Structure 1
């Protein structure tokens, strides 16, 4: 039996531990318990000291939720999950799960010494500072995080290269977790965002119909090599009356381009692709197909094939 807390304090501690997945700051714990009781619980193994200033009301390995709470609490007042971490918590799939990204107000500084000495069962934490974090960019949650749109814009700015930045933005839109107009709205409040021009152009490409990175690359390829811009994700009805979506289509030249991702290698998808290709041909259109990696790695080859196909159907480059 333990009689360390008055009943109300015990309920408050239990509720706080529940809300924060069992992770508390030392200040929170000692605000409800005496320092001696806190030390006793750690010494007897009931609780665990995760790092300076942060406690776990248990003694097991940190779960994912607990790691998120540690990251926010270590970063201090005003900290929120951000970037790929916040986007992942919002349901965007396929993003890097580590390091954990946290955003804090510019006037604050995180405890770097603590961040360098996190336990081995804790993911690395990367703290970013910002002077622009309005209330509308905060998603109430446990723990708090930035909205999906702000998370993806930040993630694109922090990405290792431009290709990853585009991929992050495209993933959010492709998975219907964010709308292009939401990304645009965030950009209006971040005049100094890293990669601002690239992010704005990618948003416009997505808004124009592209939903996968390979299609964004394709639009840029056409622009770079002086080819006319195609319609993207254009709807059509096949011979069986089913609705289909064309990756890229030039209606004036009746030329259709299909950009194949990795899933097209599946045998069932391959058979479906052949039937769809036959349907396009029998309807009188021409079709070209390119793997997504070729669009990225050898754009000149793709552009040459497109130029020949467009010229064969009557297109002439501007003088």
Structure 2
């Protein structure tokens, strides 16, 4: 409970202080009292963070997503949003900040600590992430774990007109919606040209023991294949089919590299170093520009 709630329930400041000093209760941050002295679990920490911000505070970003059930994503401090004019501070548990995007209808109306609606929190969590990689990871985990559908995240993203990293977040959300696989392959071809790599074939047809299939990117001369994996390829129902196709291609003595769409967004340089190495090992030689 917050100190404000305890005082409203009739306890005096002296009584609260006496229970804490006697070891019956413990403090969490500046303004929250936990009414036991045992370990503080994840849900208690979420409640404490939200209560720390005051009566209009709400969990936001990744913290709101954790309250909604997101697993496997850790935060250093819980992010709490308050309207303009409210008190802000930061301690080891919570980071309370004002937000200019404060809207009453962004509040989740269900049980638990007050928090921002899940799709809005997903967008904000990605925009506030420490890095592009963390932003992409957060969005992917939210959709894969069924916390919120990608389409709802996309609709929430339409409310954001200007923000750092907005372009990347739009690209990742579009990938999650599933409508940009071919566009990612076009992006790949453009990257090849910009990096001086030979132009590949796209959607090359092959036949294997399980019928006809398509290779996303193929350099026939050097027998190098790159498979551009959309978000859906990480889901359980795609894994077996992808593995069988990968093995069929490998048995044709082709070098197969995998490039997740997210990798094209946030780690292109590292992946293209591998691609160039595969082409070089197969006999391709970069042409140096002629001397003037």
* TM-score of the pair, normalised by structure 1: 0.62
**Shift in Å, 1:135:** 4.0
Q: Distance in 2 between matches of 1:216 and 1:77?
A: 46
1:221/1:303 contact within 8 Å kept? no
| Aligned twin of 1:161 | 131
The count of aligned residue pairs is: 256
| Aligned twin of 1:30 | 7
Following superposition of structure 1 onto structure 2, how do residues 177-192 of structure 1 map, counting pairs within 5 Å? 177-192=147-162
Q: Does 1:101 align with 2:69?
A: no
Report the CA distance shift for 1:220/1:300 in structure 2 as closer, same or farther (over 3 A).
Answer: farther
| Aligned twin of 1:48 | 26
Q: Distance in 2 between matches of 1:57 and 1:189?
A: 40
Structure 1 residue runs without a partner (length 5+): 1-23, 117-122, 232-237, 261-269, 310-319
2:202/2:217 contact within 8 Å kept? yes
| Aligned twin of 2:40 | 62
Q: Deviations over 1:181-233 (max 9, x none)?
A: 2122112222233322221122223323579xxx99877544433568968xx
1:218/1:295 contact within 8 Å kept? no
| Aligned twin of 1:202 | 172
**Shift in Å, 1:161:** 1.9
2:43/2:67 contact within 8 Å kept? no
Q: Distance in 1 between matches of 2:269 and 2:145?
A: 21
Q: Distance in 2 between matches of 1:229 and 1:173?
A: 32
Pairing partner for 1:289 from 254, 257, 263: 257
Q: Secondary structure at the match of 2:87?
A: coil
Report the CA distance shift for 1:192/1:273 in structure 2 as closer, same or farther (over 3 A).
Answer: closer
Pairing partner for 1:124 from 83, 93, 108: 93
**Shift in Å, 1:150:** 1.5
1:295/1:302 contact within 8 Å kept? no
Q: Deviations over 1:263-312 (max 9, x none)?
A: xxxxxxx9987643344579x9x773337678651425527868xx9xxx
Q: Secondary structure at the match of 2:19?
A: helix
Following superposition of structure 1 onto structure 2, how do residues 1-319 of structure 1 map, counting pairs within 5 Å? 24-35=1-12, 36-110=14-88, 112=89, 115-116=90-91, 123-139=92-108, 140-208=110-178, 220-226=187-193, 249=216, 257-258=226-227, 275-279=244-248, 288-290=256-258, 297-302=270-275
Q: Distance in 2 between matches of 1:141 and 1:287?
A: 52
Q: Distance in 1 between matches of 2:140 and 2:164?
A: 17
Q: Distance in 2 between matches of 1:157 and 1:188?
A: 13
Q: Distance in 2 between matches of 1:173 and 1:272?
A: 21
Structure 2 residue runs without a partner (length 5+): 194-198, 230-238, 283-292
Q: Distance in 2 between matches of 1:169 and 1:230?
A: 28
Q: Distance in 1 between matches of 2:210 and 2:3?
A: 66
2:257/2:275 contact within 8 Å kept? no
1:88/1:97 contact within 8 Å kept? no
